Structure 1
Amino acid sequence: MSKKNKRYFLMGFAALVILTAFVIYDRVFNAAPREIAKETTEFSIPADNLQFHFADNQAKATAKYLNRVLETSGSVTELGTNTMVLENRVQVYFLDNPEQDISLGDTISIKGRCVGFDELLLLVKIDQATTIKQNK
């Protein structure tokens, strides 16, 4: 291979590497955020059962539920501005204020993404939640 051909080959290879790096960068840093409310539910489980799975075997439950879309239900035991706790076992973070009038003791079903388990408080954490159904 002549010096001229080697130079063209190296320039083409360098351009290909730069183009590939740019495409990967664009896909990673400019990706659209997930819209959990529009995704299908992968698991439907009561709040107390969900917390039991994590307390019983955290590694197995994390592998099964982490970053998955869940539907869970239970009685509201704590309320905050954009948060609530179901059955003293599942802490739920809403995208914005829930539209319904929710009070302590209401039974509610939510859909959201499981983001992990708080070992200190023994709470399963769910974010990007939306209210599905409410029973007073």
Structure 2
Amino acid sequence: MIFLFSVAVLLIAFFAVRYYIFYGGKRDIQSETAAFTVTAKDIAAEFAADVNNSNKKYLEKPVVITGTITAVEGTSVILDQLVNCNFSDVKPSFKVGERATVKGRVVGFDDLLGEVKMDQCNLITN
């Protein structure tokens, strides 16, 4: 009886951990309300001034950022040379020099390059 109970608990734990690994971390950022709306220059300046407080404020939150597209590299779009937005697919409408508003999740700050990193990005306007 104890053996069967132990096996059942282990199976439940195994499938719960497996489910969390495969499905637990995925969020639909685009359906969430943006926690902040800022410019690329403002958010980069905040991170450069105080990374710890900026991480507490922005990390893992949906943010809307506006800036000028300075580069398109594969699936990444760089705004004002300060915010690196990673898209699942780059739309052909991205053109260097245009203003764009992007919504995505802030995943960190690269202090070596001075860039705010975002993923799950989606173009709102350009």
- Give the TM-score category using the shorter length: 0.7 to 0.9
Aligned residues: 125
- Superposed displacement of residue 25, structure 1: 1.6
RMSD (Å), alpha carbons: 1.9
Q: In structure 1, what residue type is equivalent to 2:114?
A: L
Partner of 2:100: 108
Correspondence 1:74 to 2:72? no
Which of 74, 77, 83 is 1:90 aligned to? Answer: 83
Partner of 1:128: 120
Distance in 2 (alpha carbons) for counterparts of 1:79 and 1:12: 57
Following TM superposition, the consecutive aligned residue runs of length 4 or more in structure 1 with deviations greater than 6 angstroms are none
With structure 2 as the length reference, what TM-score do the two structures score? 0.86
Partner of 1:3: none
CA contact (8 A) 1:82 1:98 kept: no
CA contact (8 A) 1:94 1:128 kept: yes
With structure 1 as the length reference, what TM-score do the two structures score? 0.81
Which of 16, 30, 55 is 1:24 aligned to? Answer: 16
The superposition leaves residues 28-85 of structure 1 with CA deviations (integer Å, 9 ceiling, x where unpaired) of: 1231632222222121111111001110110111111111111000111122232121
Q: In structure 2, what residue type is equivalent to 1:64?
A: K
